[in-house]
Amino acid sequence: MIISLEETFALLNKWKEESALLFVNAESPFREMRGLEDSGVRWTMTQPVRVSKIETEKGFVEFEGPAGNLSLSLKRCRALVYEDYRHSTPDTLSVLLIFFSFDEAFLLRELPLQK
């Protein structure tokens, strides 16, 4: 379901308060949108992260992970999509997809806490 920027920041604040473990997958160009025949810079990244800082007024969120920090300006995104998977899959609680211009996409999977 498509969600607003305000709903996204509410979700990110919840994840920060809960110290939720997230797994980020990001790529450009996002393969679902463009074929591999296009030229230009291609990149991908994956790492486990937690929300470390949120600046709602500026539209920034920062994630901290073992490979370093990732900062995103959500005011520049073109679509935010949220799906709840709590009742359908044991390894993912929910997913937030962040789409930017130029075919960049960030997928954040909320993982169950390890006991």
What is the residue type of 98? I
pTM (global) more than 0.95: no
- Domain 5-32+44-110 -> CATH class: mainly beta
Kindly list the distances between the CA atom of residue 110 and the CA atoms of 16, 33, 35, 70, 105, in Å, as whole numbers in the listed order: 11, 24, 28, 16, 16
Q: Delimit the domains of the chain by residue range.
A: 5-32+44-110
d(CA 95, CA 82): 6
**Average pLDDT of adjacent 10-residue blocks, the chain of 115 residues:** 96 96 83 52 82 95 94 92 89 93 87 78
Which pLDDT belongs to residue 43?
67
